[in-house]
Structure 1
Amino acid sequence: MDHSTRHLNESLNWGFINHEQESPERYKPKLLLNDRQNGDYILTPLLDELQHCLSFTFSVAFITESGLAVLKAHLADLHARGVSGRILTSHYLKFNHPKTFRELLKIPNIEVRLTELSGFHAKGYVFRHPGHSTIIMGSANLTAAALKTNYEWNVKLTSFENGGLLAQFHAEFDKAWQAATPLSSEWIEAYQIMYTETRKADKKLQAELPPLPENTTPYGVLSPVQPNKMQRQALRNLGALRESGARRGLVISATGTGKTYLSAFDVKSAAPRRMLFVVHREQILNQAISDYRKIIGGPDSDYGMFSGDRRDAEAKYVFATIQTISKAEHLSLFAADTFDYILIDEVHKAGAASYLNLIEHFSPKFLLGMTATPERTDTFNIYELFDYHIAYEIRLQEALEEDMLCPFHYFGVTDYRCNGELLADASALSEDDRERRVDYLTEKIEYYGHSGESVRGLIFCSRKAEAAELSAMLNARGYRTAALDGTDSPEERERRINQLEQGELQYILTVDIFNEGIDIPSINQVVMLRQTQSSIVFIQQLGRGLRKHESKEFVTVIDFIGNYQNNYLIPIALSGDKSQNKDNIRRHMKDTSYIRGLSSINFEEVARQQIFKSISESNLTAFKLLREAYLELKNRLNRIPLLMDFVENHSLDPLIFADKFPSYYHFLLRVREPVPSLSQPEQQVLTMLTGEMLNGKRRHEILLLDMLLKQGAVAKSDYLERLRADGCRVGVDTLESVMRVLSLEFFNEQARQKYGNTPLVRQDDDGNYSFHPAMAEALRRDDYFLQSVSDLIQTAFTKNEQYDNKATMTLYKKYSRKDASKLLNWDKDGTPTIFGYKIKNGTCPIFVTYKKHENIGASTKYQDEFVNAEVLQWSTRSRRTLQSEEVQLILDADREGIELHIFVKKDDSEGPEYYYLGQAHYDGKSAVESTMADENGNSIPVVHMNLVLEHAVESKLYGYLTGD
């Protein structure tokens, strides 16, 4: 019986006989649910299976455009690999929209048929893999709601090709398939007539029903002029802020979440004698006035405009552009106390002189600032301007989760390749290649499509000339487009926007003028044809399509990704992750389940690899970036941040400081903060704690130090009790290892010198713990040193939350050779002697760099490769034979009681840390002796063998490690 058959048998036993039996995750039967709290969605395993399959078969009654959209990028990759599939569906209840069927016809590697079976309601997904198939069956149709938000039950099963259940499925499917009608344009046209007639009948029935009460919808909910959940909480906070005596407040709210309505509700609540509303573009004013009238009401004469040629200075509610009202001659028309309430929209611009002049001139009872992006790259402190009063904050992820925004489907698409190469600058293309590029762009735009009957799109270009040229080329192909740039008048912009909204135009092409301050709710497609220079600008442009509108179910975002250095900003922007931690960013590329609601994030494979390349090559810890992030948090807090502040405010990962500086204290010195001076020994202690404790990879040391800080001395029995209470391993070897680390005995001489060569902790003859006298004295004497140590320990606790303290090491977390030496309880750091592997103390950590650098020596270019997600083909060191002692020990590891621990990283750009893949066992009789060439071309022996992992590598990590 091979290992795959054995593992499947174990999994079936686990699923149907005894769940306490050990079983590999790969084949386990699973109940698939949508669990928002844990980030589990039915969509995730479905996409995993689709990504790696040889073919697929779907039987689904209902399909929506949004459900189909989440598959499109994966289907495009499969098409490139020659993989195709079949979908059997129906027109049951006339649920499926004709446009959905048209979208299906666009996908070249899917064959679709329509069954006439009465009451067809089947939902099943089958994916064929080498040697086995995966079946997902249950309640989920191919809709975004079913795959991400609905309460659904689905079972995932694995079957070998001779499995009876699989045979039953195929027999039943094939019977229905043979009797079904192939999807065609002609069929869709006929269905369109039936669908339209059904909808007309529904509308006629609706018209015959009694009229709805005022201010309700057909669903019985209050009309949009009632505050939403976010607005209600923000209004409570603003009211409490004013009651506390505050005169200024800041609202940070994602684009499209209703900041203008919120401000109108708050004005209505505050009931000012007069109010001033300030914006930076005249186009916004009319919409703002209209929104305020809906909320506040009153005569038209209450609402005035102060912009351009309008001077309605006496109105109760004045709506002004900053360019007009900030002029000295205009400010002089108003007394300082003219307005009780002033609001500034897009207030992140308020560092400009025009805004500061206005703010200094007036003295309202309350000043409200509103922005989606308070972050600034200059030294101006927007938080200080509003007295550090953040009344409310909701960012993109939260707004999506609360269903306040239109869902989006983001597609990271490979840009046009010229002679197989991705270019960083499209202007270098020849005329023929420019034509081919436009053909490629339109092909992708049509493939990924849009929600609703007609496209209303924005295309962001990198240069004015590109926007103008591309608009002309698209028009020549029958599209209706116009290019706009900063030189166009407000009237011209307004005219073009109206044309887009009325359907006279399909696209507006621009560079940056629509990044913010423009409201076109019907936008259903956003196309990005420029490299991402800023995560803030990226979200601003994405946000142009996020306002809800009756004409669309979702917005399609198509991002053409070329060979750009800043591609790493894309996952940063989409996830909102400000940690600057490359592993975090890679994780957001491997797993996009962090996106909430009905939205999805999808990358074509080549585009995905371009971003991984950008992450590896970027310098995310450049001092300039760290300083900017530090100042942003300092400005928000109005004090020097602690390490824990970065954690609690979702800012920089504190480990970034450990990568670049001996400690956070040294960073503060670099940015010239007036922190208290620490002695050299105190600095060395912080260096040790930063380098060895902050990552939180073992709780034992952190816990002991925390107890010592709070108690001064710790009895061994109390320490053991706390370890057990925290679910930590308790063994003599581990406890001895903890003391070797805290006494510095574990480290080599160079590290001990760096860390001060003085133990932090000591044990008495009874095994009780206390600080070393020098450490204890420093903590008593220096409050700032005590604060710094305490901050480090508390931050380390938060880092430790991601680790399984019951296990030696946590599956799929990253570890260095030094980490492995410590956690395997070696007496010394084995980094200088491990190289690829080392047998010691009944353990053998094996470190594999999957993609070897071209410049490494020939004698170290080992042939390490995954056979599949469970089996690693591994090579020993060169100059080893089957008779070598260390080789024999590895072959007999199970019998000798030697644990083989596998660590793999993609390439050297990931630094010194490797993903831990768990323990492995030699696959008997797979070892073969071979030869390889050394640097001089001479043949030298090497042994190859298969190592079978106890846990099949998680699919997303496996795809990342093995992907090109």
Structure 2
Amino acid sequence: MNHPLRDAILNGLYDPRYPGHELLGPKILKNDRDNKIWLTLRQELLTCQTFTWAVAFVTLDMLVPFKLVMADLAVKNISGTLITGDYLAFNNPKVFYELKKIPNLQVRIANKAGFHAKGYLFQHDTYQTLIIGSANFTRAALLSNYEWALKISSKGNASLTQQISAQLKDLAEDSLPLSSAWLAKYEADWRPIQESNSWSQGSLKKIIPNQMQAAALQELNGLVAKGEKRGLVVSATGTGKTYLGAFAVQNFHPRKFLYVVHREQIAKKALASFYRVLAGDRANYGLLTGNKHQLERQYIFATVQTLSQPDILAQLAREEFDYILIDEAHRAAAKSYQKVLAYFRPQFCLGMTATPERMDDQDVYKIFDYNLAYEIRLRDALEEKMLVPFHYVGVQDYEEDGIRIEETSKLRYLLAEKRVDYVLQELDYYGYCGDLPRGLVFCSRQEEARELAKIFTQKKHPAVALTNQDNELKRNTAISELEAGKIEYLITVDLFNEGIDIPSLNQIVMLRNTQSSIVFVQQLGRGLRKFPGKNYVTVIDFIGNYKNNYLIPLALNQDASRDQDRARRETTLPTFIGLSTINFNTIASEKILRSLEKVKLDSLKELRKSYQELKEKLGRPPLLFDFAQYGSTSPSVFADNHSLNNYGIFLIKMGENLALSEYENQVLTFLTKELLNGKRVHELLLLQRLLKSSRLSQTEFELALKKQGAYVNSAVLTAVEDILSLRFFDIKQGKTSKKAQYGGQALVEKVNLLDYQLTSTLTQALKSNSSFQILFQDVIKTGLSLSKNYNQREQFTLYQQYDRKDVCRLLNWPKDVSAPMYGYRVGQNETPIFITYQKDALKKRSALYQNTLEDGRSLRWYTRTPRHLSSNEVQSLLNTPQMKIHLFVKKSDAIGKRFFYLGPAMIQKDSVREELLGPKKKAAVGMNLLLKQPLTVSMYQLLFNEEV
């Protein structure tokens, strides 16, 4: 009889020969790059029937993602209890106010003296799970701190369970429900714990470069030393871009300096920041704006509108300034900026921007001579703690009473009272950091902004609408009122995408369709500046039925890969950037996944756009390796594109001047389609070494593989020869074979059975066509780079994705038999099994098999029909000594042809039986496959959670 809980406990506490279980087995939880204690807590919440937590300390910054999960649980009528307290007055009173907003959470206040417990108990259908250790319910403890927590499951009648239940019962009896009276008294008596805060507004402490600014300055100094005249720095909003510019000017020591921007407000703030760094006589700093023309000053801060006027330029010599800084440099293609840049002849001109990518096809990089000195992107800045973390929640927009928010929704639906009430309810539920909301709301239309501001105000949430029709005085007044707490929200369309600095913002609200990843990041960045007492910003995104929903996870994760599988994972699972969290509720996630299914991220149109962007950045046609190096489109996306055989074809489509013979095209297609993915390094390494020397002995090749950390045996060496000779592909498919499609000739041959060398045909092609040689080398270099994503010591890497053809190659089989393989193929000593977990019942033959995750660790699997226990195939599978079963699983056919490798599996012998399947009662043999390597929480959620 199979007892997964018993086996899991015995595996963890007694003998590892018992089958383990990721969800049930004892486990030490910790925080690192791949694991977060919060992920386990979240998984337990999503699958439990109820829960009881006893946690001394709770912080506001962890409540936003918790509330999102609790909202999903409320839909399923699942509730829980949190016992906390007032020990050391750690818990901010606002924590209790926020906890009271969660309708399916009972909060109790412990009366135990010195209450300092940290335990999380979850009640499941037939067992309980306890997590106990050092981790309080704080963001630092659950996401980043070095913490230990023991997770253990047990039956309800077990001794441990009874002990815990008794403790919790005693604790609950000696506690009180959280009441308004208790909270009022606690708030009156509470005094905040004094925290050291090295950053404070208006501080006169000397400003010095941070680590990333110092690196940028070093690159800028290098450009100046080389005699370059222009350079560009990309620096995310809030990362100290203005100070970085001041440091650069300080290093240069200009005789006279000019700063150029498009708004007077920005120019004034920049002047103040530069003065803090450069110091000296305040009279040396001047403005060149509509009202002030202080042209004699050493450091001039100008608006481009004033500077570009002919009468102003006439008063300034072309060599007037040694150093010019163009802020918001993505605007530098405009006529006014071009006029300024064409007129002056500085020794150096620096451009600075947070978003160099333009939507008007202007080449910003070209303007600055393709000298990209340094990039500080949003993800880097968050991970380096240069910005305030954000907690993003994607929730569904209002849908009821015939209202369904989409691109063409009429204004009356957007402004419907029930929708506005719903929006305000969600804003209140997810909250903000601080005593008062200071929110920035982005909506779709100017009329909508004005009407929403009126309705918000009527509903006692004072708001002001700002559009590009409002003058600067009104904008400044509204911002001052928000900062002073006189209003709660500024409601706008796209006015605040850039250039406006409101550090105290603690809520960003998205009430519009995401049309552009660039704009999304600009708007998100408005709330990320540091401010005293601000520990995080809440970002609430109301996701309607928009076709562009797929852009949201890409923008949040700074994902430019155009990899559809990666985008699905970013939508399905919570992700993290430093201490920032990204979470979608169930319905919002489903909307994004539906949007993702309808778009081709790797369409030729999208790839062309990506190509042009990178070409602008580099000032030359990019190669595949450039895409990998600059974090742009994943090179694998080019390989997977069915309309492109190889990157050379793509370059020709892009209008680049190169010619390839039919043979050269075929060779590049082979390299691209079969080796570029880097899933096995062996073939790539051999080709790389043979490009450097005409011959390579087998011994030298084996040493090179070992040095690379790759496994070596006779089977893989034979397989490498089969691949590079194209024998592996000598399987007829339709009118021709893959071997013929790949040129029909070997790339590598063996000499004297000992040495490898490139064939003469390939050698001649590489010598005679430099374009072919460059592209050949590029694929190999890129493939070797991608190979680092895989464990080359093994045939397969746990939780990486493989298709059937990959598996045939990596199992060292002599031929590609992936086409007729379907669900499995029993080999001599290795058997790959491919399972599609979710079936569209009644639609496909495979639905008959009803593969199920029986108990969280074993998959019920069936052979094809008709098969019997006596069938040779079944007997070979069951009785071959040391038969190794490799298990590959994907959630549905909709996600493509690749499966996640879940590791080796064992057949549970007592589960094997012959069964009659389907309406025609055909015989098949069913069995449970037990994973040798327990699933991680993330992989379990990705593949097997019904909610996602």
TM-score (norm 1): 0.91
Once the two structures are superposed, the pairs formed by residues 586-601 of structure 1 within 5 Å of their partners are 586-596=568-578, 598-601=579-582
Asked if 1:880 corresponds to 2:866, the answer is yes
Conserved 8 A contact 1:578-1:650:
yes
Asked if 1:918 corresponds to 2:915, the answer is no
Once the two structures are superposed, the pairs formed by residues 827-846 of structure 1 within 5 Å of their partners are 827-846=814-833
Find the aligned partners of 1:30 and 1:434 in 2 and give their Cα distance.
50
Find the aligned partners of 1:392 and 1:337 in 2 and give their Cα distance.
27
Find the aligned partners of 2:403 and 2:940 in 1 and give their Cα distance.
26
Which of residues 243, 253, 259 in structure 2 aligns to 1:271?
253
CA pair 907-688 structure 1, distance change in 2 beyond 3 A = same
Q: What residue in structure 2 maps to residue 520 of structure 1?
A: 502
Find the aligned partners of 1:216 and 1:128 in 2 and give their Cα distance.
44
Asked if 1:58 corresponds to 2:43, the answer is no
Find the aligned partners of 1:431 and 1:615 in 2 and give their Cα distance.
25
Q: Measure how far apart 1:48 and its partner are.
A: 2.9
CA pair 53-713 structure 1, distance change in 2 beyond 3 A = farther
Conserved 8 A contact 1:303-1:318:
yes
Aligned letter for 2:890?
A: K
Conserved 8 A contact 1:522-1:551:
no
Q: Measure how far apart 1:567 and its partner are.
A: 1.8
Q: Measure how far apart 1:433 and its partner are.
A: 8.6
Find the aligned partners of 1:282 and 1:259 in 2 and give their Cα distance.
17
Aligned letter for 2:94?
A: K
Asked if 1:132 corresponds to 2:127, the answer is yes
Aligned length: 937
Asked if 1:769 corresponds to 2:756, the answer is yes
Residue deviations 1:18-65, cap 9 Å, x none?
7x9984544454433333xx3443333333333333322222211110
Find the aligned partners of 1:158 and 1:216 in 2 and give their Cα distance.
44
Q: What residue in structure 2 maps to residue 11 of structure 1?
A: 11
Q: What residue in structure 1 maps to residue 721 of structure 2?
A: 739
Conserved 8 A contact 2:860-2:927:
yes
Q: What residue in structure 1 maps to residue 626 of structure 2?
A: 645
CA pair 525-722 structure 1, distance change in 2 beyond 3 A = same
Aligned letter for 1:907?
A: S
Once the two structures are superposed, the pairs formed by residues 657-668 of structure 1 within 5 Å of their partners are 657-660=638-641, 661-668=644-651
Question: Among the aligned pairs, what percent are the same residue?
Answer: 42
Once the two structures are superposed, the pairs formed by residues 880-919 of structure 1 within 5 Å of their partners are 880=866, 882=868, 885=871, 888-889=874-875, 893=878, 898-919=883-904
Which of residues 42, 66, 71 in structure 1 aligns to 2:66?
71
Q: Measure how far apart 1:507 and its partner are.
A: 0.4
Q: Measure how far apart 1:571 and its partner are.
A: 1.9
Asked if 1:628 corresponds to 2:609, the answer is yes
Q: Measure how far apart 1:379 and its partner are.
A: 4.1
Q: Measure how far apart 1:894 and its partner are.
A: 5.1
Range moving further from structure 2, 538-547 or 237-246:
237-246
Find the aligned partners of 1:943 and 1:34 in 2 and give their Cα distance.
42
CA pair 357-124 structure 1, distance change in 2 beyond 3 A = same
Q: Measure how far apart 1:506 and its partner are.
A: 0.4
Asked if 1:655 corresponds to 2:642, the answer is no
Q: Secondary structure at the match of 1:521?
A: coil
Q: Secondary structure at the match of 2:416?
A: helix
Which of residues 297, 302, 310 in structure 2 aligns to 1:320?
302
Find the aligned partners of 2:555 and 2:163 in 1 and give their Cα distance.
46
Residue deviations 1:419-471, cap 9 Å, x none?
69854247348669922211211111111000000000000001222222322
Find the aligned partners of 1:107 and 1:356 in 2 and give their Cα distance.
55
Residue deviations 1:306-361, cap 9 Å, x none?
33343333333322222232233332332212222221111011111111111111
Once the two structures are superposed, the pairs formed by residues 220-239 of structure 1 within 5 Å of their partners are 223=205, 225-239=207-221
Asked if 1:509 corresponds to 2:491, the answer is yes
Residue deviations 1:856-905, cap 9 Å, x none?
4567654233334323233443x525457267438x52556544433222
Aligned letter for 2:421?
A: D
Conserved 8 A contact 2:415-2:452:
no
Find the aligned partners of 2:386 and 2:257 in 1 and give their Cα distance.
27
Q: Secondary structure at the match of 1:614?
A: helix
Residue deviations 1:605-662, cap 9 Å, x none?
2212222232232111122221222222222222222222221111111112212311
Aligned letter for 1:2?
A: N
Conserved 8 A contact 2:7-2:19:
no
Find the aligned partners of 2:565 and 2:272 in 1 and give their Cα distance.
47
Aligned letter for 1:646?
A: F
Find the aligned partners of 2:491 and 2:308 in 1 and give their Cα distance.
31
Find the aligned partners of 1:553 and 1:837 in 2 and give their Cα distance.
52
Q: Secondary structure at the match of 1:601?
A: strand
Q: Secondary structure at the match of 2:36?
A: coil
Find the aligned partners of 2:145 and 2:907 in 1 and give their Cα distance.
44
Asked if 1:168 corresponds to 2:159, the answer is no
Which of residues 376, 382, 397 in structure 2 aligns to 1:394?
376
Q: Measure how far apart 1:751 and its partner are.
A: 1.0
Q: Measure how far apart 1:525 and its partner are.
A: 0.2
Q: What residue in structure 1 maps to residue 30 of structure 2?
A: 33
Q: What residue in structure 1 maps to residue 354 of structure 2?
A: 372
Asked if 1:544 corresponds to 2:526, the answer is yes
Q: Measure how far apart 1:6 and its partner are.
A: 5.3
Find the aligned partners of 2:773 and 2:474 in 1 and give their Cα distance.
63
Q: Measure how far apart 1:696 and its partner are.
A: 1.3
Residue deviations 1:592-613, cap 9 Å, x none?
45411x2211211221222223
Conserved 8 A contact 1:932-1:941:
no
Give the gaps of 5 or more residues in structure 2: none
Find the aligned partners of 1:474 and 1:845 in 2 and give their Cα distance.
59
Asked if 1:688 corresponds to 2:685, the answer is no
CA pair 708-398 structure 1, distance change in 2 beyond 3 A = same
Q: What residue in structure 1 maps to residue 292 of structure 2?
A: 310
TM-score (norm 2): 0.93
CA pair 130-433 structure 1, distance change in 2 beyond 3 A = farther
Q: What residue in structure 2 maps to residue 757 of structure 1?
A: 744
Give the gaps of 5 or more residues in structure 1: 207-211
Conserved 8 A contact 1:590-1:956:
no
Find the aligned partners of 1:700 and 1:799 in 2 and give their Cα distance.
13
Conserved 8 A contact 1:39-1:594:
no
Find the aligned partners of 1:901 and 1:622 in 2 and give their Cα distance.
33
Find the aligned partners of 1:56 and 1:383 in 2 and give their Cα distance.
55
Range moving further from structure 2, 534-543 or 232-241:
232-241
Aligned letter for 1:12?
A: G
Find the aligned partners of 2:790 and 2:913 in 1 and give their Cα distance.
34
Q: What residue in structure 2 maps to residue 669 of structure 1?
A: 652
Find the aligned partners of 1:704 and 1:235 in 2 and give their Cα distance.
41
Q: Secondary structure at the match of 2:550?
A: helix
Q: What residue in structure 2 maps to residue 779 of structure 1?
A: 766
Conserved 8 A contact 1:451-1:552:
yes
Find the aligned partners of 1:855 and 1:30 in 2 and give their Cα distance.
40
Aligned letter for 2:615?
A: K
Find the aligned partners of 2:925 and 2:717 in 1 and give their Cα distance.
37
Asked if 1:959 corresponds to 2:913, the answer is no
Q: Measure how far apart 1:114 and its partner are.
A: 1.2
Q: What residue in structure 2 maps to residue 472 of structure 1?
A: 454
Which of residues 101, 107, 112 in structure 1 aligns to 2:107?
112
Q: Secondary structure at the match of 2:918?
A: strand
Asked if 1:82 corresponds to 2:47, the answer is no
Asked if 1:481 corresponds to 2:463, the answer is yes
Q: What residue in structure 2 maps to residue 280 of structure 1?
A: 262
Asked if 1:48 corresponds to 2:43, the answer is yes
Find the aligned partners of 1:231 and 1:218 in 2 and give their Cα distance.
20
Conserved 8 A contact 1:851-1:906:
yes
Aligned letter for 1:31?
A: I
CA pair 162-706 structure 1, distance change in 2 beyond 3 A = farther
Q: Measure how far apart 1:259 and its partner are.
A: 1.2
CA pair 149-314 structure 1, distance change in 2 beyond 3 A = same
Find the aligned partners of 1:794 and 1:65 in 2 and give their Cα distance.
47
Q: What residue in structure 2 maps to residue 824 of structure 1?
A: 811
Q: What residue in structure 2 maps to residue 617 of structure 1?
A: 598
Conserved 8 A contact 1:876-1:887:
no
